[in-house]
Amino acid sequence: MPLIVLCGYPCSGKTQRAEELKVCFERRTDRKVHIVGDAALGVEKNTVYADSQKEKNVRASLKAEVERKVNKDDIVIFDSLNYIKGYRYELFCLIKHTQTPHCLVYCLTSGEISSTWNASRDAAERYNQDIFDALVLRFEAPDSRNRWDSPLFTILKDDALPYEDISDALFKRKAPPPNQSTQSQPLSSVNFLHELDKITQDVLLAIFNSLKTSVPGDLITVPGATEKVELTRPINMAELRKLRRQFISYTKTHPTENSGHISNMFVQYLNKSLH
């Protein structure tokens, strides 16, 4: 059922808030409450966050665990740093696919306070100061204007937990509708693979021609799509071809009978991957 995503600096009180939420929901509802986080995976934070590949693997494992736990009945609380905007967007896509509401709880503290709390921990639970400083520096604060960060509840260290507001956001609000790129599609027509190959190739050609005069921030129009490609950063054709191959592999197992959807599905896939 609903997903609650916590985020904040290291040692900003996220785990305490996760436990408070779990107790509140278990007392006031008959739903099971699952907490997914670094602790459940036995993450050695100083080893993981010092190595970008290990950190990426842990994030993937945590996301997979969230996906396994999310269902129509239970509440899932995701207790981790969740400090990367693009990762929070991936979680938003996940809940759109599963058709369940979500909200973000931001534990807002200053770097100084979090650093003090970190120093007071047992040595085995403490972040090395250089790792702590790097994570604070890389932290991308949530913004309620972003649909993947909304509804957003910002909690200071001395604030009472806004349980009622969080509960309303989860149980009195409709789940975001899935877009075409996150829906399972019906069986394909006979010439589906030919159309898939041609349409995606046409999209890449249109992007390639636009890249000659485009700069990051531009929106690129492609044939057959009502949505536009968001050019958020520099990109080359090798990366685009790789994304096209990935999209084709995915779409072969989730085909659509309406080839008119392919362009928009591909644009949505590109925008999510390039974000």
Which residues lie below 8 Å from residue 252, measured CB to CB, with a gap of 6+? 193, 196
Rounded Cα–Cα distance for residues 229 and 250 (Å) = 19
Check whether residue 210 and residue 250 sit in a common domain.
yes
Reported as a single tens digit per residue, the pLDDT across 151-186 is: 999 999 999 999 999 999 999 887 666 554 444 444
Q: Which of 125, 142, 171 is the last residue of a domain?
A: 171
Rounded Cα–Cα distance for residues 24 and 47 (Å) = 34
Which residues lie below 8 Å from residue 35, measured CB to CB, with a gap of 6+? 18, 19, 22, 77, 79
Backbone region of residue 17 per phi and psi (left: phi > 0; alpha: psi in -120 to 50; beta: other values) = alpha
Q: Which of 126, 146, 171 is the last residue of a domain?
A: 171
Check whether residue 7 and residue 86 sit in a common domain.
yes
Reported as a single tens digit per residue, the pLDDT across 23-34 is: 999 999 999 999
Check whether residue 246 and residue 210 sit in a common domain.
yes
Rounded Cα–Cα distance for residues 4 and 21 (Å) = 9
Reported as a single tens digit per residue, the pLDDT across 85-110 is: 999 999 998 888 888 899 999 999 99
Q: How many domains does the chain have?
A: 2
Q: Which of 131, 146, 171 is the last residue of a domain?
A: 171
E-state strands within the chain: 3-8, 33-37, 75-79, 102-107, 152-155, 219-220, 229-230
Check whether residue 22 and residue 100 sit in a common domain.
yes
Check whether residue 206 and residue 164 sit in a common domain.
no
Check whether residue 234 and residue 109 sit in a common domain.
no
Check whether residue 165 and residue 245 sit in a common domain.
no
Rounded Cα–Cα distance for residues 227 and 72 (Å) = 31
Check whether residue 247 and residue 115 sit in a common domain.
no
- For 4, the token pair is 């609650």
Q: Which of 74, 143, 77 is nearest to 108 (CA)?
A: 143
Check whether residue 185 and residue 252 sit in a common domain.
yes
Please give the residue range of the domain that contains residue 102: 3-171
Reported as a single tens digit per residue, the pLDDT across 32-85 is: 999 999 877 778 899 999 999 999 999 999 999 999 998 878 999 999 999 999
| CATH code of 124's domain | 3.40.50.300
